[in-house]
Amino acid sequence: MNYTAMPKVELHTHIEGAAPPDFIRGLAKEKSVDLSGIFEADGGYAYRDFWHFLEVYEAATSVLKSPSDYARLTRAVLENSADAGVVYLETFISPDFCGGRDVIAWRDYLAAIQDAAAEVERDRGIILRGIVTAVRHFGPDAAHEAARCAQETAGDFITGFGMGGDEKSGKQGDFAYAFDMAREAGLKLTTHAGEWNGPDEVRAALDDLKIERIGHGVRAIEDPALVNRLIEDDITLEVCPGSNVFLGVYPDLAAHPIAKLRDQGVKVTVSTDDPPFFRTDMVQEYENLSRQFGWDAADFKAVNLTATEAAFCDEATRDRVRKIVEAQDV
How much helix, strand and coil, in percent to the nearest 5, is found in the chain? 55, 15, 30
In 3-state terms, what secondary structure has residue 327?
coil
Instruction: Quote the least distance from Cβ 41 to Zn ion, whole Å.
Output: 28
- From the candidates 145, 167, 195, 201, which is the catalytic residue? 195
Instruction: Quote the least distance from Cβ 215 to Zn ion, whole Å.
Output: 5
195 in active site: yes
User: Which one of 19-27, 139-147, 178-186, 268-276 is the stretch in contact with Zn ion (CB under 5 A)?
Assistant: 268-276
Q: Which is nearer to Zn ion, 69 or 195 (CB)?
A: 195
- Beta strands per DSSP E along 143-297: 158-164, 188-193, 213-216, 236-239, 267-270
Instruction: Quote the least distance from Cβ 267 to Zn ion, whole Å.
Output: 18
273 binds Zn ion (CB under 5 A): yes
Q: Which is nearer to Zn ion, 16 or 273 (CB)?
A: 273
User: Which one of 51-59, 98-106, 199-207, 272-280 is the stretch in contact with Zn ion (CB under 5 A)?
Assistant: 272-280
Residue 299 CA to residue 305 CA, distance in Å, equals 10
Residue 35 CA to residue 101 CA, distance in Å, equals 27
Instruction: Quote the least distance from Cβ 192 to Zn ion, whole Å.
Output: 6
Of 111, 74, 132, 117, give the one whose Cα is nearest residue 312: 132
Q: Which is nearer to Zn ion, 90 or 145 (CB)?
A: 90
* Number of Cβ atoms within 10 Å of the Cβ of 176: 16
User: Which one of 43-51, 62-70, 273-281, 312-320 is the stretch in contact with Zn ion (CB under 5 A)?
Assistant: 273-281
* Number of Cβ atoms within 10 Å of the Cβ of 129: 21
What residues line the site for Zn ion (CB under 5 A)? 273
Catalytically active residues, by annotation: 195
